[in-house]
Structure 1
Amino acid sequence: MRRVFLAAGAALFVLLEPAGAAPPTQSGNADTFKALNLFAEVFDRVRQDYVEPVNDQELVENAINGMLTSLDPHSSYMNAKAYKDMQVDTHGEFGGLGLEVVQDQGLVKVVSPIDDTPSAKAGIKAGDYIVALDGDPIVNMSLNEAVEKMRGAPGTTIKITLRREGEPKPIDLTLTRAIIKVASVRGHLERDTIAYLRISSFKEQTATELEDTYKKLKAQAGKLTGVVLDLRNDPGGLLDQAVAVSDDFLERGEIVSTRGRRPEDVQRYNAHPGEITNGLPIVVLINGGTASASEIVAGALQDHHRAVVLGTRSFGKGSVQTIIPVLGQGAMRLTTARYFTPSGRSIQAKGIEPDIVVEPAKIEKIGGPERLHEADLKGALKNPDDPAKPAAAKPSATKDQSAGKDKDQEAPPMPGDVIDPSASAKADDYQLSRALDLLKGVALFSSRAVD
């Protein structure tokens, strides 16, 4: 069974056995054995002489995780429990607080609170740093340990200590855990005839939810004049769902391709006839929190000139992580490929540039560092199209992959601004207001052209 995932605190990756690599040379074997002997010597010395007793399993797991995390920001090791938790997340239901997080500078940084969860209701914001959980400093925890501590039985409480830019003192919040049922698609009508569709992440039923929501809005309106697809702060998720959602808005053509280390590893995912809106104009909203699977959708619709992309530059996570089970003890998330939009461009460390740049409205200019993007992460992969770097060889062989055949998913969530995209357009949601104005203008122009 293959499972691919794309997302920066929490999903693109694939579950499969990797193809065998070229056999090492004799000198290469000697160097490898020498390095392994070094590891064994250090491991044994720690076991014998460290000031306190150590757990062998934890030492090995931490060593493996260190090896993987040194490769790039999205490769890591999951023990058996973390692997099980990841599978639970994919189903879209778990007990916890509803936070998307990423490790940054030894702390846990909030990527985005999930809509209508304890974290969102408590006012936690994207960019907040979690510095302590129940009084225990985060600096002493791994990301997996912090996530495990935040999860728990519904109805139980946890004290979270936050550091927020502009706040001189830490913020203490007591949250009550709940069952987090992540509805990945929400929708409503804007201005009576525009379907607003918000995708918060790409789970197992996202495409089905999108289609059902659209049908309900169409029946409610009687006649629709346009669609807003809101992908702001969407950290990613299952690749097959990103392909299926793109397919809902495309009649034909390539949606995305993935290219690995070897030329024969290329895979192409194509659209099929049956576009659900019957050609209605579409505006896609993106921002710095739009990452991975959501960037695939935005890039596909942009390259096919099927939608106008509006907002600010997306996160820029253009790599694919493969989830590989190991020895029945867990799994490793390993970066195995880059993905490319239909025009052949890599968005790795670059992101999707909107067709129309619209910054979110702010009452006053707030100083401070800009939001992080993929290119800002330590060890981030370079973009193969960067002329300053050697470009990856273009593969000659291809495999045609129809949408929905492989269960693929993205990497961990990405940083982004917190917006309330589930509510109707408000005075402070400037980007959505501009999207609605654009669709209204297109509708007026089309009606006059027909007349």
Structure 2
Amino acid sequence: MRILAYFTVALLTLSVHAMDGYDPSNKINQLALTMAIVKHNYINDLNDNAIAEKAIRGLLSELDPHSAYLDVNEFDMLKDSTAGQVTGIGVEVTVDRGMIRVIAPLDHSPAKRAGVKNGDYITHIDDVLVLDIGFNEAISRIKGDTGTQVILTIMRPGEDQPRQITVTRELIKAPSIETDMLSQNIGYMRISYFGTSSSAEASKKLKALQRNHPNLSGLVLDLRNNPGGVLDSAVEVTDLFLDNKSIGYNRTITTAKERSMKVMQSYKAKTPDITNNLPLAVVINSGSASGAEIMAAALKDHKR
């Protein structure tokens, strides 16, 4: 099958070069010609929209591991996941060299209970090679109905042999914020990810922690294995720990810049510090990414 695929590609290449006036340096024309050849010669029938969508997915996937194209259904699934409710195994992933790399399993998720760890590479799903089906189809196969199982083949850095892990899918209702007391006066807040309701959750639980423990003298913020999430939520949670009237850097939490380094958007502190300058200790690890990195950096920059 692979020999046939390579042979087909070779024929397509010869067909392109055989055309009169073909200029290989004009990549826009080359793209249009390639799409036309695929439409008329590929073994399966593909309409213009299907070919264009594959071209868009390929373009964005080649930019960097963090860029991807989402169709309407995939965007709806993303919104469900950031709302803290989705059916699956509860793991945040990215694409890396065609494989799926685990950023972090969510707390209390089926993936974490089954032994999936941040940094794992998922190479097969139910014995199907991820490289053969692509990232989006692989994610679709990991998800499924509640109670069904999926077998993941995993390569773990530092290990020579792959391992198989069976995970039972569940409806994931993962709270993004958890609080506790580490001692009589040291509080603890675990932020698993930044979802659409994280800021409200964090504010409510912080106030309860302070109300129930009036002698609170310090707080540990645990961002380990937090893969990020919604940028606005990460900024809003960070803002809870900053005093908009006293911090420097023009109250800036983070900025979004375009290629020329011109600032497109600046996210600033807008509210007083809800903890009244309570001493903080922020804990991160290699699984802390995106919004978690922004929060840790902002709190450090503003000397919290």
TM-score range, shorter chain: 0.7 to 0.9
Q: How far is 1:259 from its partner?
A: 2.3
Of structures 1 and 2, the one scoring higher in RCO (CA 8 A, sep 6+) is: 1
Residue 108 of structure 1: how far off its partner (Å): 1.3
Q: How far apart, CA to CA, are the structure 2 residues paired with 1:158 and 1:131?
A: 13
| Alignment TM-score, normalising by the size of structure 1 | 0.57
Say if 1:136 and 1:280 are closer, same or farther in 2 by CA, change over 3 A.
same
Bigger share in helix: 2
Larger radius of gyration: 2
* Aligned partner letter, 1:182: A
Alpha-carbon distance, 1:261 to partner: 4.3
Give 1:98's aligned residue.
90
The one-letter amino acid of 2:281's match is V
Q: Does 1:148 align with 2:146?
A: no
Partner of 1:49: 41
> Which residue identity does 2:266 align to in structure 1?
R
Alignment of 1:335-346 (within 5 A): none
1:164 pairs, out of 152, 156, 160, with 156
What is the aligned counterpart of 1:293 among 288, 291, 294? 291
1:60 maps to which of 52, 56, 60: 52
5 Å matches for 1:306-321? 306=304
**1:76 corresponds to:** 68
Rounded to whole Å, the distance in 1 between the matches of 2:226 and 2:143 is 21
Structure 1 unaligned residues grouped into runs of 5+: 1-30, 307-451
Q: Residue 258 of structure 1 corresponds to which residue in structure 2? A: 256
Q: Percent same amino acid at aligned positions?
A: 38
> Normalising to structure 2: TM-score of the pair?
0.83
CA distance, structure 2, for counterparts of residue 287 and residue 119 of structure 1: 19
Equivalence for 2:232: 240
Structure 1 residues 300 and 135 mapped into 2: Cα distance closer, same or farther (>3 Å)? same
Q: Distance in 1 between matches of 2:211 and 2:65?
A: 44
TM-align CA RMSD: 2.2
1:289 alignment partner AA: G
- The answer to whether residue 188 in structure 2 is matched with residue 190 in structure 1 is no
Given candidates 245, 264, 267, the residue that maps to 2:265 is: 267
**In 2, Cα distance between the equivalents of 1:180 and 1:140?**
28
Distance in 2, matches of 1:273 and 1:172, equals: 48
Instruction: Report the CA distance between 1:63 and its aligned residue.
Output: 1.1
Deviations 1:149-194 (A, max 9, x none): 1111111222222222444443222221100112111111001211
Asked if the contact 2:104/2:117 (under 8 Å) is kept, the reply is yes
Distance change >3 Å, CA 167–CA 289, structure 1 → 2: closer
Paired residue secondary structure (1:218): helix
Residues 251 and 273, structure 1, Cα contact 8 Å, conserved in 2: yes
Contact 1:61–1:79 (8 Å) recurs in 2: no
Gaps of 5+ in 2: 1-22, 245-250
SS at structure 2 position matched to 1:121: helix
CA offsets, 1:287-321, max 9 Å, x none?
22222212221122111111xxxxxxxxxxxxxxx
Contact 2:150–2:166, Cα closer than 8 Å, also in 1 = yes
Contact 2:100/2:122 (8 A) holds in 1: yes
Cα contact 1:195–1:214 (8 A) shared by 2: no
